[in-house]
């Protein structure tokens, strides 16, 4: 049976708010006094128990299905609760507070129907803290603490605090953004608005926005955000509302900027990761947890030994440090290998912050494990490391690692070393041959060459005399005919010089326009080391050229620079001869007048001849 005094129906009104207005319309001092005589309770009405809804329907004259909307249900797991179809978290409960938009209340008073004191009504949207701003007016929702006796009695609250509410309405300012509040309102009305966020439970979507906004704010990435100041939750909504791909881009940009090591990513992800860790066991978080776990695995150098939220299923990236541990290599070698392979750019970052693709890196690093160092090759060959390096410089064996940084570090594949030894396979020297053969060290001194040049000739088939020593198969115990070696070396150098003579890009071939420094000394009628001293001090121009007799590359003096020097300078000996006095006496005279030679004899231990600029000694020339 309907009450004597009923009120108008308001769409979106909370059941307790309707009960509060009915109690006031019928003269009760409070809603609790009214409910106490009905055999039900405010809690039963609030949560929407069928018997309580039926009784409220009878009192108000409104259909029960109309009043059954937004039933409230508490779930045991995780202390979550439902407001209609929307799942809320525990901290979204209103508690013993009156939550309201002052502009809505003032608007109800101004434009509502019925008795003035019964016009303001409590919206369902106000009963969850998931909504922080009025979706209609954009101003912050106000909260006023109350007690258990007056919780939900909104008509009673408005009647006693109307001046305060009117003042709040006048002072209310629109928030810079309230998109999340409009989104939650749409969820409560079961209106789809965003495919990605709608796939999540309401409170998960709201918390995602809040924590994603904090993540972006903490890492100072503005991206495409509006210029106005945004709260964390609104900042996160701008990102999350664009879907998983935008979330991935934002996270990837932060990682690219920060480049955290495997042990530092916790501080970069901060409260976002902590939120995921607190909730990853909850079923409603599965989609969000899997999203961020997948992003972390693809953009961070984490493996099975690191956990982002869930155990890492697959390593996509290595850091130089993690690869060094996994492949048991020095960090600088790993760095050089991946940079040389184009898997990483040269960087000054620490080893834990230099990333590269794990699969492609595996190919490079496993291949590197099957190589030999110059030291290991030298041990196999029974020779010294310098000889091995010269062999590599001559491309007798191909390098697979040759780094030009602070370390001299070269590696060769084992199969290439084996192939080289196979090419040098020769017979063991017979007793009848030993008399004409000598070891490689002595043969090099006779032929004035390096050991690697012997191997070059041997591989070219130009050393028929090469034999293995009966005592060992190592390279240091090979034997060769020194005379044959010397002839082969000369022939090889002659060919090289002739090739370079006709190749404009190669080293010059010494001819009439170039003089060796000993010839310079003779031409200047100076002491033996004078030509070398003038060359070193830069008075003569030097060029690298091939000696026409030894076919070795040497430093030569250009004839043009020597002639220019002769025109501008005169030796102390020549000047003394012109004046008919001793060089020592002439030098004392020159020193007395403050005239100095172009260099002092102390620049070289061999005391080169002294020269003066002709312009300085013009008065002494005849």
Q: Kindly report, residue by residue over 578-608, the tens digit of the pLDDT.
A: 888 999 999 999 999 899 999 888 767 678 8
Domain count within the chain: 6
pLDDT value at residue 164: 96
Q: Give domain status of residue 199, yes or no.
A: yes
Query: Where is pLDDT greater, at 518 or 295?
Result: 295
Indicate the pLDDT class of residue 430, thresholds 50, 70 and 90.
confident
Provide the pairing of β-strand 371-373 with 409-413: antiparallel
600 burial level (CB within 10 Å; 0-12, 13-18, 19+)? exposed
pLDDT value at residue 236: 96
Residues 155 and 62 in one domain: yes
d(CA 284, CA 276): 12
The percentage of residues in the chain with a pLDDT greater than 70, rounded to a whole number, is 92
Best CA proximity match to 318, nearest among 342, 344, 292: 344
pLDDT digits (tens, 9 = 90+) for 480-530: 999 999 999 888 877 776 666 554 444 455 456 788 888 899 999 998 889
Query: Where is pLDDT greater, at 238 or 545?
Result: 238
Q: Give domain status of residue 379, yes or no.
A: yes
pLDDT value at residue 282: 93
pLDDT value at residue 81: 93
Q: Give domain status of residue 92, yes or no.
A: yes
Q: Give domain status of residue 188, yes or no.
A: no
pLDDT value at residue 25: 92
Best CA proximity match to 360, nearest among 409, 328, 412, 318: 318
User: Which sign does the torsion angle of CA 80, 82, 83, 88 carry?
Assistant: positive
d(CA 579, CA 569): 16
Provide the pairing of β-strand 401-403 with 409-413: antiparallel
Q: Are 76 and 135 in contact (CB under 8 A)?
A: no
Helix ranges restricted to H, 143-201: 154-171, 179-188, 195-198
pLDDT digits (tens, 9 = 90+) for 352-382: 999 999 999 999 999 888 888 888 888 888 7
Answer whether residue 267 shows pLDDT above 50: yes
Best CA proximity match to 598, nearest among 570, 574, 562, 579: 570
d(CA 578, CA 585): 13
Q: What is the DSSP string of 333-388?
A: HHHHHHHHTTSS----S-GGG-EEEHHHHHHHHHHHHTEEEHHHHHHHHTS-HHHH
Residues 133 and 231 in one domain: no
Average of per-residue pLDDT across 397-424 = 76
Residues 176 and 206 in one domain: no
Least confident piece of the model among 246-255, 320-329, 384-393, 505-514 = 505-514
β-pair partners for 515 = 557
d(CA 179, CA 189): 15
Q: Give domain status of residue 554, yes or no.
A: yes
Q: Are 83 and 127 in contact (CB under 8 A)?
A: yes
Residues 32 and 164 in one domain: yes
Answer whether residue 404 shows pLDDT above 80: no
β-pair partners for 356 = 318
Residues 432 and 496 in one domain: yes
Q: What is the mean pLDDT of the chain?
A: 88
Place of tokens 């209103």: 94
Which of the listed ranges 241-245, 346-350, 545-549 does the model predict with the highest average pLDDT?
Answer: 241-245
pLDDT value at residue 551: 61
Could you tell me the residue range of the domain that residue 136 belongs to?
15-181
Question: How many CA atoms are closer than 13 Å to the CA of 496, on its beta-carbon side?
Answer: 17
| Domain end marker among 475, 500, 525 | 500
β-pair partners for 611 = 571
pLDDT digits (tens, 9 = 90+) for 55-68: 999 898 899 998 88
Q: State both tokens at 535.
A: 């060359």
Best CA proximity match to 393, nearest among 448, 455, 341, 452: 452
Residues 246 and 346 in one domain: no
Query: Where is pLDDT greater, at 518 or 211?
Result: 211
Q: State both tokens at 604.
A: 């070289």
Residues 32 and 163 in one domain: yes
Residues 175 and 214 in one domain: no
Average of per-residue pLDDT across 554-579 = 90
Q: Using alpha carbons only, how large is the chain's radius of gyration in Å?
A: 47
pLDDT value at residue 4: 86
Q: What is the DSSP string of 35-93?
A: HHTTT--HHHHHHT-HHHHHHHHHHH---HHHHSTT-EEE-SGGG-EEETTEEE-GGG-
Q: Give domain status of residue 186, yes or no.
A: no
Answer whether residue 392 shows pLDDT above 70: yes
pLDDT value at residue 563: 92
| Domain end marker among 284, 308, 332 | 308
Q: Give domain status of residue 314, yes or no.
A: no
Q: Give domain status of residue 4, yes or no.
A: no
Answer whether residue 441 shows pLDDT above 90: no
Least confident piece of the model among 122-126, 131-135, 465-469, 605-609 = 605-609
Q: Are 358 and 315 in contact (CB under 8 A)?
A: yes
Residues 31 and 121 in one domain: yes
pTM attached to this predicted model: 0.68
pLDDT digits (tens, 9 = 90+) for 73-120: 887 666 899 999 999 999 999 999 999 999 999 999 999 888 999 999
Query: Where is pLDDT greater, at 395 or 205?
Result: 205
| Domain end marker among 413, 439, 465 | 413
Answer whether residue 403 shows pLDDT above 70: no
d(CA 539, CA 530): 11
Place of tokens 């939550």: 99
Q: State both tokens at 618.
A: 């013009």
Residues 206 and 297 in one domain: yes
Element (H, E) at 403: strand 401-403
Element (H, E) at 326: helix 320-327
Residues 103 and 225 in one domain: no
Start-to-end CA span in the chain (Å):
145
pLDDT value at residue 507: 47
Residues 60 and 96 in one domain: yes
Average of per-residue pLDDT across 571-579 = 90
């Amino acid at each position: 049976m309907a009450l004597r005094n009923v009120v108008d129906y308001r769409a979106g009104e909370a059941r307790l708010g309707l009960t509060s207005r009915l109690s006031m319309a019928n003269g009760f001092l409070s809603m609790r006094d009214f409910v106490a005589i009905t055999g039900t309770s405010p809690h039963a009405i609030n949560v929407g128990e069928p018997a309580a809804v039926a009784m409220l329907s009878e009192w108000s004259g409104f259909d029960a299905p109309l009043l059954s909307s937004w039933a409230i249900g508490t779930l045991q797991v995780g202390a979550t609760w439902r407001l209609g179809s929307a799942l809320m978290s525990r901290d979204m409960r209103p508690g013993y507070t009156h939550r309201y938009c002052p502009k809505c209340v003032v608007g109800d008073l101004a434009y509502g129907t019925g008795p003035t004191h019964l016009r303001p009504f409590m919206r369902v949207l106000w009963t969850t803290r998931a909504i922080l701003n009025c979706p209609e007016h954009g101003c912050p929702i106000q909260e006023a603490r109350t007690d258990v006796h007056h919780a939900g009695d909104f008509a009673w609250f408005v009647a006693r605090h109307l001046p305060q509410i009117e003042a709040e309405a006048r002072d209310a300012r629109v928030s810079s953004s309230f998109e999340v509040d409009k989104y939650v309102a749409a969820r409560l009305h079961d209106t789809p608005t965003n495919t990605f966020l709608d796939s999540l439970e309401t409170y998960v979507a709201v918390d995602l926005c809040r924590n994603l906004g904090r993540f972006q704010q903490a890492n100072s990435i503005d991206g495409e955000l509006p210029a106005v100041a945004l709260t964390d939750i609104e900042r996160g909504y701008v990102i999350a509302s664009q879907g998983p791909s935008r979330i991935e881009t934002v996270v990837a940009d932060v990682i690219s900027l920060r480049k955290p090591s495997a042990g530092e990513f916790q501080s970069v992800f901060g409260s976002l990761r902590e939120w995921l860790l607190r909730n990853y066991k909850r079923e409603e978080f599965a989609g969000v947890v899997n999203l961020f776990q997948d992003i972390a695995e693809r953009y961070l150098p984490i493996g099975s030994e690191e956990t982002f939220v869930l155990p890492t299923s697959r390593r996509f990236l290595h850091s130089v440090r993690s690869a060094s541990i996994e492949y048991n290599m020095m960090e600088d070698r790993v760095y050089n290998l991946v940079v040389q392979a184009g898997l990483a750019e040269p960087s000054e970052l620490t080893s834990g912050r230099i990333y590269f693709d794990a699969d492609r890196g595996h190919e490079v690093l496993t291949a590197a494990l099957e190589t030999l160092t110059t030291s290991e090759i030298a041990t196999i060959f029974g020779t010294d490391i310098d000889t091995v390096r010269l062999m590599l410089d001559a491309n007798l064996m191909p390098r697979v690692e040759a780094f030009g940084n602070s370390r001299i570090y070269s590696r060769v594949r084992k199969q290439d070393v084996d192939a080289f030894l196979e090419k040098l396979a020769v017979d063991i020297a017979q007793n009848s041959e030993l008399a004409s053969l000598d070891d490689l060290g002595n043969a090099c001194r006779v032929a004035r060459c390096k050991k690697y040049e012997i191997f070059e000739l041997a591989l070219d088939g130009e050393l028929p005399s090469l034999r293995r020593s009966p005592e060992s198969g190592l390279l240091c115990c090979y034997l060769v005919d020194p005379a044959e070696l010397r002839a082969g070396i000369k022939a090889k150098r002659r060919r090289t010089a002739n090739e370079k003579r006709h190749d404009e890009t190669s080293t010059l071939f010494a001819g009439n326009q170039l003089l060796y420094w000993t010839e310079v000394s003779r031409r200047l009628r100076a002491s033996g080391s004078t030509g070398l001293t003038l060359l070193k001090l830069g008075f003569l121009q030097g060029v690298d050229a091939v000696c026409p007799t030894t076919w070795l590359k040497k430093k030569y003096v250009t004839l043009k620079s020597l002639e220019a020097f002769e025109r501008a300078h005169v030796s102390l000996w020549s000047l003394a001869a012109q004046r008919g006095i001793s060089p020592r006496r002439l030098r004392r005279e020159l020193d007395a007048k403050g005239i100095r030679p172009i260099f002092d004899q102390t620049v070289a231990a061999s005391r080169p001849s002294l020269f003066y600029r002709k312009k300085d000694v013009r008065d002494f020339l005849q």
